[in-house]
């Protein structure tokens, strides 16, 4: 349950399961905006893509409790995945479904309000060679038992390692009726004169800035300390034309009612 959402009348309850350690709340945290691969881009330019950073912060992350390594032989049997663990942690990953799938049991039973479920997926904009997270949508508004987080190994005879403390799952609530109540309407671009005007203004600015971008890029190539802010159209980051503009999400902190 988050402090921020409680103030607004919404909550996610995470019931600690029997046998879960008292400090298991430390395995849940608000999703963070940074990524190592984004840090490593030239001038950290990846963070100038606001949609990427916003997606990074959607929801809460569950952290891997124990360092582990997997290797799959390519067959469907559970035993075809070799699992190495740093220690025998109770909530360690297992091979349960076969076909190269590894499974984490979570030490919580999550419940959401009526009309809301949980999207369960991997951390946004993260990748690991040879393995992919499997997404799910859980009816946590009524489900009386816990769910698992699963990853599928995609490369045979390749070792995949997860460090303790590395995020391996992400959850965020989603309203059940939204998709079925929503339609996609195809319209002609010229039907919205105001949108056309805004688009053409953006296109003209982009054209005018092209030369400046090239000059800034050439300077940055010669001097990695050069200011590269001129390379990017910052209209989206500043929310030009928006009444309310949110570039990142700020999920509330995880509150442990028995310890806080």
What b/e sequence results for 35-63 when a residue is b if at least 16 CB atoms lie within 10 Å of its CB, and e otherwise? beebeeeebeebbbbbeebebbbbbbbbb
Is residue 132 domain-resident?
A: yes
DSSP state of 128: B
Is residue 20 domain-resident?
A: yes
Is residue 225 domain-resident?
A: no
Residue 67, Ramachandran bin (φ over 0: left; ψ between -120 and 50: alpha; else beta):
beta
Is residue 137 domain-resident?
A: yes
Is residue 201 domain-resident?
A: no
- pLDDT score for 3: 43
Residue 212, Ramachandran bin (φ over 0: left; ψ between -120 and 50: alpha; else beta):
alpha
**Ranges under pLDDT 50 in the chain:** 1-6
Rounded-to-integer distance, Cα 205 and Cα 199, Å: 10
Is residue 41 domain-resident?
A: yes
Is residue 162 domain-resident?
A: yes
From residue 154, alpha-carbon distances to 33, 50, 75, 130 in Å are 27, 30, 11, 5
- pLDDT score for 260: 61
Q: What residues make up the domain containing 163?
A: 3-175
Counting the structural domains of the chain, the total is 1
101, β-bridge pairs: 98, 152
Is residue 80 domain-resident?
A: yes
- pLDDT score for 257: 76
- pLDDT score for 234: 59
Identify the CATH number of the domain in which residue 120 sits.
2.70.40.10
């Amino acid at each position: 349950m988050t402090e921020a959402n409680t103030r607004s009348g919404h909550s996610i309850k995470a019931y600690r399961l029997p046998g879960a350690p008292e400090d298991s709340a430390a395995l849940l945290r608000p999703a963070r905006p940074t990524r190592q691969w984004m840090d490593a881009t030239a001038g950290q330019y990846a963070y100038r893509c606001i949609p990427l950073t916003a997606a990074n912060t959607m929801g809460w992350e569950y952290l891997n409790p124990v360092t582990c390594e997997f290797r799959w032989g390519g067959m469907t049997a559970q035993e075809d995945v070799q699992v190495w663990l740093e220690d025998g942690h109770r909530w360690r990953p297992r091979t349960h479904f076969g076909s190269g799938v590894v499974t984490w049991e979570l030490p919580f039973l999550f419940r959401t309000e009526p009309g809301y479920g949980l999207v369960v997926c991997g951390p946004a904009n993260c990748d690991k060679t040879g393995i992919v997270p499997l997404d799910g949508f859980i009816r946590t508004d009524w489900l009386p038992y816990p769910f698992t987080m699963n990853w599928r190994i995609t490369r045979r005879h390749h070792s995949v390692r997860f460090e303790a403390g590395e995020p391996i799952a992400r959850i965020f609530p989603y309203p059940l009726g939204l998709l079925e109540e929503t339609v996609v309407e195809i319209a002609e671009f010229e039907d919205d004169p105001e949108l056309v005007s805004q688009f053409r203004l953006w296109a003209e600015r982009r054209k005018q800035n092209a030369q400046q971008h090239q000059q800034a890029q050439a300077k940055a190539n010669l001097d990695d300390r050069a200011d590269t802010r001129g390379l990017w159209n910052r209209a989206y980051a500043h929310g030009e034309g928006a009444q309310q503009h949110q570039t990142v999400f700020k999920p509330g902190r995880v509150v442990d009612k028995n310890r806080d």
